[in-house]
Amino acid sequence: MLYKTLSAAVYGVDASIIEVEVDVSGMKLLEDRFHTVGLPDATVRESRDRVRAALKNCGFDIPFTHITINLAPADIRKEGSGFDLPMALGILGAFGGLNKKELADAVFVGELSLDGGIRGVRGALPIAIEARAKKLQRLIVPEVNAKEAAMVSGVDVFPVRSLLDVIHYINSGNGIAPLKVDTASLLDQAAHFSVDFKDVRGQHTAKRAIEVACAGGHNLLMIGPPGSGKTMLAKRMPTILPPLSFEEALETTKIHSVAGVLDPGVGLVGTRPFRSPHHTISDAGLIGGGMIPRPGEVSLAHNGMLFLDELPEFPRSVLEVMRQPLEDGTVCIARAAMSLTFPARFMLAAAMNPCPCGFHNDRTRECRCTPPLIQRYISKISGPLLDRVDIHIDVPAVNYKEMRGGLEPESSAVIRERVMRARQIQTQRFQEKQDKIYCNAQMAPRQMNKFCQLSPDCERLLERAMTQQGLSARAYDRILKVSRTIADLEGGEAIQPKHIAEAIQYRTLDRTYWA
């Protein structure tokens, strides 16, 4: 007898609906013949042992017979343990254990334990989005994944704990109620931080540069001695970034769900991600990879921040693979079996010492590094990568008077208001565009030609800087974008020479270390 159920497989950050066809022979055998076809991986092939044990421990003794399970379409590779539940239901339905002849409007996903319990799986959110796209009304998922799946409107999400719960629901139509969540309240609850910029004393120039970077989504490099507060400043940058919109939260949650790092108790990434990998990370860990490609740190930082502390300590090969995501906002990973593209539109913040000992040009400590040693240390970061960083800022050591005296530092809430006003200007500026541009850092040349027009005074100032400092064409674009952001912070329509001058200062600061 043939019985069909529906499940789903995740590829990259998207899902595809998979039809699970179960054919059971009526002839009893002396040994088990359980075959799964349709390009299953090892985890899917192992499902037969979990499924048979779960059915037996739930009171359904399945005789030895010829069982064939086809996962269609057969030309797509299937991986993961989420097919356990639809397989078990298909076998039970083929033996007549379910009242309904078919389950054409429901998608089942879940891993079975040997006692019939249902464990969580990866990618519940993209599965829910695909179910809605295919106009499937019901999605039955493990209880631990229900909250994230319920973020998608238009699909009834039923959380289940065991195989018996699902069987009872199918046969009687009751016992499980669809889960409803208030997405607005979840976003509000997530918008709380344990750190604040008012904790940072001094560093007024660095704070100004960080404000400009966050207002325009610009990449930032902080250079300073140990203990000057670079990491402290970076950890507080998410507190002044604009809150996530619901669409951005769904995009981010999809990636975290597929990677298996989503907090099941929350179900939605409500704050902009802040990822800070250690400098021993591999290029596959940073960009993503594997036989079945998984998202890396740059994708987990999508719509948020990627912080690289001690930048020169990262292997050069690891840093160089960031060029594409910094430029395009995506990561394409090609393997023999498939090629996947992950989103990676993030804001890069990096910190480094000016030399190996950390005290080059420091006012209080003597540097013992030789010029060739400093040059080798700095040259670990390539020029093309530095060109993709919009703002380079010096973060000097804070003296005692700055730490103990002076005015009370501004809080993150005050700085965030200015940042959000600048972002609102940018949102209105790009609202008619179809390129999904959210900030000045994402402008293409045609937008720059329209929105970054310069007066003759600005042209002369920028030309002089380009000639004297030997800046590249990419650095020229970065200066224009940062100037546009500085003007937006002041609410100005046109870019003025003072905006160009400040932007040039952020580009030329690092030249003191290369000279």
Give the model confidence (pLDDT) of 395-452 as tens digits.
988 877 777 776 788 899 999 999 999 999 998 888 865 567 888 998 888 888 888 8
The pLDDT of residue 29 is 67
DSSP-derived secondary structure letter, 239? G
Using 50 as the pLDDT threshold, list the residues of the chain that sit under it.
Answer: 510, 512-515
Residue whose tokens read 């639809």: 86
Tell me the pLDDT of the chain averaged across its residues: 88
Element (H, E) at 419: helix 412-429
DSSP-derived secondary structure letter, 331? E
Residue whose tokens read 């019939």: 116
Distance from chain centroid for Cα 457: 41
> How far is Cα 276 from Cα 232, in angstroms, rounded to an integer?
13
> How far is Cα 402 from Cα 399, in angstroms, rounded to an integer?
6
**Cβ atoms 87, 93 nearer than 8 A:** no
> How far is Cα 464 from Cα 497, in angstroms, rounded to an integer?
12
> How far is Cα 17 from Cα 394, in angstroms, rounded to an integer?
52
Cis peptide leading into residue 73 (ω within 30°) = yes
> How far is Cα 39 from Cα 43, in angstroms, rounded to an integer?
11
User: Which DSSP string corresponds to 53-71?
Assistant: HHHHHTT--PPSEEEEEEE
Residue type for position 97: G
Give the fold, CATH level 3, of 192-436.
Answer: Rossmann fold (3.40.50)
- Helices 204-216, 473-489: axis angle to 10 degrees equals 100
The pLDDT of residue 417 is 95
User: Which DSSP string corresponds to 260-319?
Assistant: T---TTT-S--S--EE---TT--HHHHHEETTTTEE-HHHHTTTSEEEESSGGGS-HHHH
Neighbours of 357 (CB within 10 A): 18
The pLDDT of residue 15 is 93
List the Cα angle 217/219/220 in 5-degree steps. 120
Residue 395 has, within 13 A of its CA and on its CB side, a CA count of 29
Domain ranges of the chain: 2-172, 192-436
> How far is Cα 74 from Cα 236, in angstroms, rounded to an integer?
49
- What the block records as the tokens of 265 is 């108790």
> How far is Cα 217 from Cα 303, in angstroms, rounded to an integer?
10
**Cβ atoms 149, 139 nearer than 8 A:** yes
Radius of gyration of the chain, Cα coordinates, nearest whole angstrom: 28
The pLDDT of residue 514 is 45
393 DSSP β-pair partners: 222
**Cβ atoms 441, 329 nearer than 8 A:** no
User: Of 3.20.20.10, 3.40.50.10490, 3.30.230.10, 2.60.40.10, which CATH number belongs to 2-172?
Assistant: 3.30.230.10
Q: Which of 475, 473, 476, 497 lies closest to 487, judged by CA?
A: 497
Q: Is the dihedral of CA 68, 74, 76, 77 positive or negative?
A: positive
- Helices 497-508, 473-489: axis angle to 10 degrees equals 130
Neighbours of 41 (CB within 10 A): 13
